[in-house]
A and B are shown apart, each in its own frame.
Chain A
Amino acid sequence: MAEQQIDARGLRCPQPVLKIAAKMPEMQAGDVLVVQADCSTFEDDVRKWCERMKKTLLAVNTDGDAKTARIQF
């Protein structure tokens, strides 16, 4: 199980989710993707994405304006 990172801070919603989509081919089952973003709808977008793609959203942590989502593939 590997852990990969995406720093999507500074990108407008829903571009962080597009970044997650582009990262998908590199991910294996069980891998964890850690995504940092600071756009306003990031949490809602990432929840919607996980629900549709049937991935597990392990946690969403807030640190100031930035949010960090941990997604298990």
Chain B
Amino acid sequence: MTTELTPEPELAVLRAELEESRAALAAAAQREDEYHAATMDLALGLSECFQALAEVRNGNLAARVSSSVLESPDEIIANLGGLLNDTVSDFEGQIELIRRQTIAIQELSTPVLQLWTDVLALPVIGMVDSRRAAEIMERLLSEIVARKSRFVILDITGVEVVDTKTADHFIKLIRAASLLGTECIVTGVRPAVAQTLVELGVDLSSIATLRDLHAGLHHCLKEMSKRRVQESAVG
């Protein structure tokens, strides 16, 4: 999936999901109030029963509970049963919502942006585990092939923690892109990430790194210009 610079469809999906989440939260709050009221009735009814039993134990055979307690058990049980059913339905709805949100998050967490003609950008945010690395790899390679892109900028500004495994995922991604004839540039390496990579002894000597996305795009445009000059000289 290629995300354009103004991803309105994605925003619309997110807004709809947000509205749905708000409605679910409001329904959950209402259920919480109903649960509280029903359980409070139960607690008060039980308390009256225990009090009456204690009085009987102490010889007061005239002890009674209020008529509301005697009338309410069926109502309480019906209320609690209804709440239980509603809660199960809520859970099922929540599970379905979470499943759809997970899919949306997965799609949005690995966006491939068409930054310029022949230039794709892959902004990576957060942790990159094996599963996510595989998703990124699959999506990026298919976009490279589909768009015949000559450059890919892998922007890791949003990656705060890198370990040897994460670095290994990035290196594999860059090598795979190279095999397709695409030059890969890494941008946005944070100072802490750079320090960690050096401490871990990860060899990034074969990988072009630049300070930020702007510098990366500038590099790509310069390279494209050079190649055009060379091609016209040959032609």
In the complex, are the beta carbons of A24 and B40 less than 8 A apart?
A: no
Question: How many Å lie between the Cα of A7 and that of B50 in the bound state?
Answer: 20
B47 and chain A: residue at smallest CB distance: A21
Which residues 11-57 of A sit at the B interface, judged by CB distance below 8 A? Answer: 13-15, 17-18, 20-22, 24-25, 27, 41, 45, 48-49, 52-53
Which residues 7-59 of B sit at the A interface, judged by CB distance below 8 A? Answer: 36, 39-40, 42-44, 46-48, 50-51, 53-54
* Smallest beta-carbon distance B34→chain A, Å: 12
Question: How many Å lie between the Cα of A22 and that of B47 in the bound state?
Answer: 7
Q: Hey, which chain B residues are within 8 Å of A18, CB to CB?
A: 39, 42-43, 46
Question: How many Å lie between the Cα of A22 and that of B53 in the bound state?
Answer: 12
A51 and chain B: residue at smallest CB distance: B44
Q: Hey, which chain B residues are within 8 Å of A52, CB to CB?
A: 44, 47-48
Question: How many Å lie between the Cα of A53 and that of B65 in the bound state?
Answer: 11
* Smallest beta-carbon distance A31→chain B, Å: 12
In the complex, are the beta carbons of B43 and A49 less than 8 A apart?
A: yes
In the complex, are the beta carbons of A14 and B39 less than 8 A apart?
A: yes
Partner of A14, one of B40, B48, B54: B40
Interface size classification for chain B: 10 to 19
Number of A-B contacts (CB under 8 A): 44
Secondary structure call for the B interface: helix
Interface size classification for chain A: 10 to 19
Q: Hey, which chain B residues are within 8 Å of A17, CB to CB?
A: 40, 43-44
Q: Hey, which chain A residues are within 8 Å of B42, CB to CB?
A: 18
Question: How many Å lie between the Cα of A69 and that of B43 in the bound state?
Answer: 17
In the complex, are the beta carbons of B39 and A24 less than 8 A apart?
A: no
* Smallest beta-carbon distance B100→chain A, Å: 28
Question: How many Å lie between the Cα of A45 and that of B44 in the bound state?
Answer: 10
Partner of B47, one of A13, A20, A41: A20
25 contacts between A and B (CB under 8 A): A13-B36, A14-B36, A14-B39, A14-B40, A15-B39, A17-B40, A18-B46, A20-B43, A20-B47, A21-B43, A21-B44, A21-B46, A21-B47, A22-B46, A24-B47, A24-B51, A25-B50, A25-B53, A41-B36, A48-B40, A48-B44, A49-B43, A49-B47, A53-B48, A53-B51
When A and B form their complex, which 3 residue pairs have the shortest distance between CB atoms, in order from nearest? A24-B50, A21-B47, A17-B43
